[in-house]
Each structure stands twice: as C-alpha cells, then as structure tokens.
Amino acid sequence: MSIGNANVLDELVAIVGRGNVLTRREEQQAYVVDWRDRYHGRALAVVRPQSTEEVARVVRACAAAGVPIVPQGGNTGMCGGATPDDSAREVVLTLTRMNRLRAIDVDNATITVEAGMPLATVQASAAAHGLHFPLSLGSEGSCTIGGNLSTNAGGTAVLRFGNARDLVLGLEVVLADGRVLDALRGLRKDNTGYDLKHLFVGSEGTLGIVTAAVLKLFPAPHVQATAFAGVADVSAAVRLLRDLKQALSDRLVGFELISRFALDLCRRHHPSLPDPVPGHPWYALIQANDSAAQSTLAADLERALLSAAERGLVQDAAVAQSAEQAARMWALRDNISESQRREGPNVKHDIALPVSAIPAFIAEGATRIEQAFPGARLVVFGHLGDGNLHYNVAAPAGTDARAFLANTPAINRIVHDLVSAAGGSISAEHGIGQLKRAELRHYKGAVEIEVMERIKAALDPQGLLNPGKVL
C-alpha cells in the first residue's frame, strides 16, 4: 500500500470510524462481487458512512487524494455498475447505513427517505400511513431507493405509475467535490430553471451520490385483483393488453409476459409454486388495483377476461381468489431472474420497443438466434405493458453454459440490431454499468454521447465518480 493510500485510509477512518472502513479481502467480499457473480473486483476499502455529512467528507477526502469512488446500494444491479474494478485503488461507498425515514407528509402525499433505505421499507413506511409507494421489483427486499433512482428502475407497475424517475420530487446529492446539492423539495410544480434532479436519476453513480429523496405517494389500493392468462401467441397478449386498458382504465397496474419456457424454469427451481393454467405457450400476469372502497374491479376484470376468451384472445385464465394465491402467481414471475442465475450464466438483454413491435421482434429474434446458434434456449419474459422484454439467451441443453458466453458479442449484435432497426432501446430499465458500455457507443448517436461526456466532465472533472461505468 502506498503512503498516499495509507493517508486517505486514516482520513476515512477518522470520518466514519474504524469499523466502517473495510480493508480485508474477506470482509469486502459481499461488496466487490455482483449478485450474478459476473464481475469480481477488489477495493482499497469499503466505506460505510451514516450521514450526508459523512458522505460529503468521504468524497472530499477521496477527491483530494485522487481516489475513485464506486457508490453502492443493495448491490442487486444487473450491469456491474456497483462493482469496483480489480485494481484495489477504488473505494466502494455503500449507502446502506443511511436508511432513515426523514419525514412523511400525508397531506402532501410525500415521503422523504435516505438513499440506503430498502425499497420494501419505503413501501411499508408509506403503507403504515395509509398511502402507497408503487415502485415494485423482485429485488425490493434488498435494493435501495438510492440504487433505484440511480438506475431509474422500472419493475412491474410502470404501466400505471411510471419509472423511478416519475416518482421522485426532490433529491439531495453529494457532488464530486464534496458539496451537497440540496434539492430536497416536495413540490409537484417547480419551473425554476433546469430540473437538476433528473440529471442524477439514471446516472448510475457517475455524476453524484444520492443521499436522500422526496418521493411521491399515492392512495393505498383498497381492492386488488390478479389473474394469470394463457394465450396462444404474443400478438394475442398485445391485443389483450389493449382490451384490458380499455376495460379497466388506470386501474390496470401491471401486465407481464411470461413464456412457458421461463415459467418451467422458475418452477424447476421453485417446485412448490403453482402452474395456474397449464399447457399454453405464453402467459400474461395481470395486476389491477382500485383505491375506491366501492369497487367493481374483480367483476370488471373477470368480465374482460371472459370477453377476451370468447374472442379467442385468451385460451384459459385463473383469477386469484385470495391474497395468498395472488402472491404465489407473482412469485412465479418474480423468481424467474433468480432461477436463471441458479440455472447458469446466460446472455441477458433488457430491451424496449413500441408494444406494437414486440410480436414481430420475438418471431424474428427466434429465427435469427436459431440460425446462428442452433438449439440456443430463449428465456423471454418481461414488462409487456411497458414494451420492455427480458430477452435472455441460454446455451443449448447439455452444453457448457460458461463457454457459450463467448458468443455474447455475436448474440448482442443479432438482438440489438433488431431492436435498433425497430427504434428501440438496448437498455430499458437496467442501465449500462460496465456490461453495456460498448453497446451504448455502438448504438447511441455521436451527438448524444458528446453531450453526455460534457455533462460528465462538468460535474466530475477529475473522473472519480464510478469510472468505467456508462461512458
């Protein structure tokens, strides 16, 4: 260790205490590897501040010593954005000790929380006051609101409530020079110049460190209805989505697509989960909520599904008869990603397209992948209501899954060229991190990249905030 590093470590210890500066390899382990086990780093230290003031002092100390910082929340990200490189020069700054509820304003329908609060705790804090925070992800027990905002997370209620970006009113951010940008306002209208908070949302820790946020809350759902529908093909699912929007209006919260292959994979790893309507190639998982006490929601959903069945759109459907049944239907969806991890590595794509373009993409993608990689298995599922598919390609049965990863560039080119030709996005909700940096440059226009680089240079002139990520 160089003298310079020893000095900065002493300073960090003076700021957050010895127990919150982790330098030994064993104690760093949970912070230097991503959950998918795809990226392995080494850190100079993992630092665990517990206040905005401590974050600011840590950033100042690192800036003075030229030490790069990798911000981290729950470490559930999909693109290696929270993993340091393997130089042992970077500091991982974990926000998980900054997990306090600062304020809740019931009349204003806002909650102010620190960045390290787990998403599920934000939801529970809102519910305890009869309100609802709608962001919902399979990882909600572990991911943090700071991570959600920094990735502009999507999840399963975007159809009704939007992405994380749509749910934030104010932010507190520690800038690269250690100053605190205090934009922690709970206003629904505020046109006083540039809306700076949106620069930080989705910037994956490359422009500043989010330390707190004011979030929008909504009326709590009074009635909830969940259904699992088997459909013959993806076009039928798209038409069903359109019909349900018409029938349920803004009570339709989520509309997820699941292929039979993805469902089988999930049930292989979670055999106690049900098979609500066996024997169909594709499924739609439908969530509808109503905050009104006098609600006809359940009857309206059933009527809409019946009508869709009469017109041949739905082959069969099950409507959850209890909260437990609904939770088990959702477990089939929420556990796909984790089941895929257990199954072995795969080539992930998180793509967005106009909903209308999705059936043709799925058909063409399957043909092209099969031509290039015969027997490759497609694990297709995702947030069809938002035009966002998780289009994951796994090795042919019985072959070496890890060796198959060598085909990643060629597979990416097939999938992302199709997406690009249809005017889509190569990252709908997971971000860029280190996984998709090259792909970003391949598909984004030169002017867009240049503007991003100028913003990065303006806010982080030393290039110390999460280097090697996004740009």
Q: Which burial class, exposed, middle or buried, applies to 422 when counting CB atoms under 10 A from its CB (0-12, 13-18, 19+)?
A: middle
Q: Is 416 in the site for ligand 2HG (CB under 6 A)?
A: no
Give the binding range for ligand FAD (CB under 6 A) out of 5-13, 147-155, 297-305, 368-376: 147-155
- Give the x/- contact pattern for ligand FAD in 424-463, rule: CB under 6 A: -----xx--x------------------------------
Q: Does 76 bind ligand FAD (CB under 6 A)?
A: yes
Query: Which one of the spans 143-151, 246-254, 307-315, 391-399 is the region binding ligand FAD (CB under 6 A)?
Result: 143-151
Q: Which is nearer to ligand FAD, 35 or 133 (CB)?
A: 35
Binding flag, residue 73, ligand FAD (CB under 6 A): yes
Q: Tell me whether residue 170 or residue 254 sits nearer to ligand 2HG (CB atom).
A: 254
State which residue, 341 or 377, has the beta carbon closest to ligand FAD. 341
Residue 405 CA: distances (Å) to CA of 34, 64, 398? 17, 40, 15
- Under rule CB under 6 A, residue 392 binds ligand 2HG: yes
Residue type, 147: G
Q: Which is nearer to ligand FAD, 284 or 297 (CB)?
A: 284
Decide whether 163 or 392 has the Cβ nearer to ligand 2HG. Answer: 392
Q: Is 253 in the site for ligand FAD (CB under 6 A)?
A: no
Q: Going along 232-274, which residue ranges are E strands?
A: 252-259
DSSP state of 118: B
Indicate which single residue of 315, 337, 427, 434 sits in contact with ligand 2HG (rule: CB under 6 A). Answer: 337
First to last CA, the chain: 29
- Applying CB under 6 A, the site for ligand FAD has a residue count of 38
Residues 284-343 contacting ligand FAD, CB under 6 A: 337-338
Binding test (CB under 6 A) with ligand FAD, winner from 49, 68, 77, 254: 77
Closer CB to ligand FAD, residue 206 or residue 295? 206
Say how far apart CA 155 and CA 153 lie, in whole Å.
Answer: 6
- Cβ neighbors of 284 (< 8 A, separation 6 or more) are 228, 229, 231, 237, 240, 241, 255, 256, 257, 258, 384
Rounded to the nearest angstrom, the gap between the alpha carbon of residue 279 and the centroid of all alpha carbons in its chain is 30
- Take residue 180 and report the two structure tokens written for it: 């605190």
Per-residue binder mask for ligand FAD (CB under 6 A), 392-431, x = binder: -------------------------------------xx-
Query: Three-state DSSP class for 349?
Result: coil
User: Which tokens go with 7?
Assistant: 């000095």
Contact flag: residue 146 with ligand FAD (CB under 6 A)? yes
Q: Supply the minimum distance, in Å, between the C-beta of residue 133 and ligand 2HG.
A: 18
Q: Which does 392 bind (CB under 5 to 8 A by kind): ligand FAD, ligand 2HG, none?
A: ligand 2HG
Which residue in the block uniquely carries the two structure tokens 């994956």? 204
Q: Does 71 bind ligand FAD (CB under 6 A)?
A: yes
Of 73 and 230, which has the nearer Cβ to ligand FAD? 73
Nearest to 121 by CA among 104, 138, 154, 145: 145
DSSP 168-228: EEEEEEE-TTS-EEEE----S---SS--THHHHTTSTTSS-EEEEEEEE-EEPPSEEEEEE
User: Is 254 one of the binding residues for ligand FAD (CB under 6 A)?
Assistant: no
CB 234 within 8 Å of CB 358 = yes
The separation between CA 395 and the C-alpha centre of its own chain, rounded to angstroms, equals: 25
Residues sharing a CB contact under 8 Å with residue 369, sequence separation 6 or more, in sequence order = 376, 378, 393, 411, 414, 415
* 126-145 footprint of ligand 2HG as x/- string (CB under 6 A): ------------x-------
Compute the distance between CA of residue 390 and CA of residue 156 in angstroms, rounded to an integer: 13
Please report, for residues 81, 122, 195, 272, 400, the alpha-carbon distance to residue 190 in angstroms, rounded to integers and kept in the order given.
31, 24, 8, 50, 55
Return residues touching ligand FAD (CB under 6 A): 35, 70-78, 81-82, 95, 115, 137-139, 143-144, 146-148, 150-151, 153-155, 204-205, 209-210, 337-338, 429-430, 433, 466, 469
- Residues of this chain that interact with ligand 2HG (CB under 6 A) are 138, 336-337, 340, 348, 390, 392
